[in-house]
A = this chain, B = another copy of it.
Amino acid sequence: MQPTPKITITQVAAEAGVSTATAGRVLGGYGYASGDVAAKVQAAARKLGYKPNTLARSLVTGRSQTIGVVAADIDNAFYARVLRGIGDVARSQGFGVILTNSDENLEREQEAVQLLLEKRVDGLILAPCEVQGSAHLHSLIAGGCPMVQIDRAAYDLAADSVTVDNRGAAREAVDHLLKAGHRRIGIIAELERLETGSLEKFVRQGAYDPMKGETLYPSWQRLLGYLDAHRHAGIQVDLHLIRRAGAYSSEAARQETVQLLQGPDRPTAVFAADGTMAHGVMQALADLHVQVPQQLSIVCFDDLDWMQFMQPAITSVHQPVHRIGSMAAELLLARIAGDASVPKHNVLEARLNIRDSVGPPA
């Protein structure tokens, strides 16, 4: 398979007429070497085409200069951007990146972590697929393996995390509508599983409860922001304005929007909790021949800032997604380098792009 037999440090040492220890010192850049000897070794290495075998190096040093990533779903523009951030930071520090993904499946997550551990990564970046840190993650950090969570954070894991301020940004978006005078604002959101109690109860209490499963999920967090804005403005929320698509599907969002707009007491504005929901909303508006913003105002929480591409006129809140990756990688590498300060939860701020989709209530 390798017609060109691999050159080892032993051969370089022989060629240069020094010991392997010395050759290692100059080639590995550790320890002392006289300029004279260093030159000889380097010449020999170049002549032979020497390439270090980092496996051997890692075996003895105990560090692999590699980080492991467990994405939730690679086949997704969000993680693609996160990966960009991670990759850039890793490369700049000479680290490699081993990529796996969990598909939001606990068993897959375990297998992925297992693989990464066997490959002796120095630390890992992971999007946990459950709110409550699973056993394998706990034993991981108990074992001292540096790890930073991305996109979401299991509430009981003593590990760093980098997430987005879903709640704050959603509140800001809804505030924007309230300030324009809107009082009946619909929300179209995924809101898939409600793990405890009813929607009504969730709304009434409206407080962050880290023990509640649903608060791990962005769409529920964004609903909390929607509620925050109303509470702060002293406005009672009508439960009918909260529409759960129940799935990450623009078709479901379209249907909910149609129902919302055809029902009695229709809202004057809509907050779409993500880009896919926004797409469904736009389709519904086309179906019903509703004009934006003359007849209805829209604000959209758009992870990937797709709206600027698809609907340049829509006001949106978006995040610098690649920063999730780069921040996570920077944090992780700091930990690996031995910076042992207390684990921190880092929250990335989202940005509100004011465009002309918001007018006064029709």
Contacts and interface: CB of A to CB of B under 8 A. Distances in A.
Nearest to A310: B310
A64 interface: yes
B75 A83 contact: yes
Contact of A101 (B74, B87, B118): B87
A236 interface: no
A14 to B, nearest CB: 21
Contacts of A79: 80
A149 interface: no
Given A74-B87, A83-B74, A83-B75, A53 B100 contact: no
Interface residues of A, number: 50
Interface stretch (A54-62, A202-210, A352-360): A54-62
A170 B117 CA distance: 46
Contact of A144 (B2, B77, B116): B2
A342 interface: no
Nearest to A64: B55
Contacts of A64: 55
Interface in A96-147: 96-101, 111, 114-120, 142-146
A84 B55 CA distance: 27
Given A74-B80, A75-B84, A99-B87, A4 B55 contact: no
**Which of A52, A59, A114: most chain B CB closer than 10 A?**
A59
Nearest to A1: B144
Contact of A99 (B76, B99, B143): B99
Interface string A325-352: 0000000000000100000000000000
A279 B312 CA distance: 12
5 contacts: A1-B144, A66-B98, A74-B83, A75-B322, A77-B77
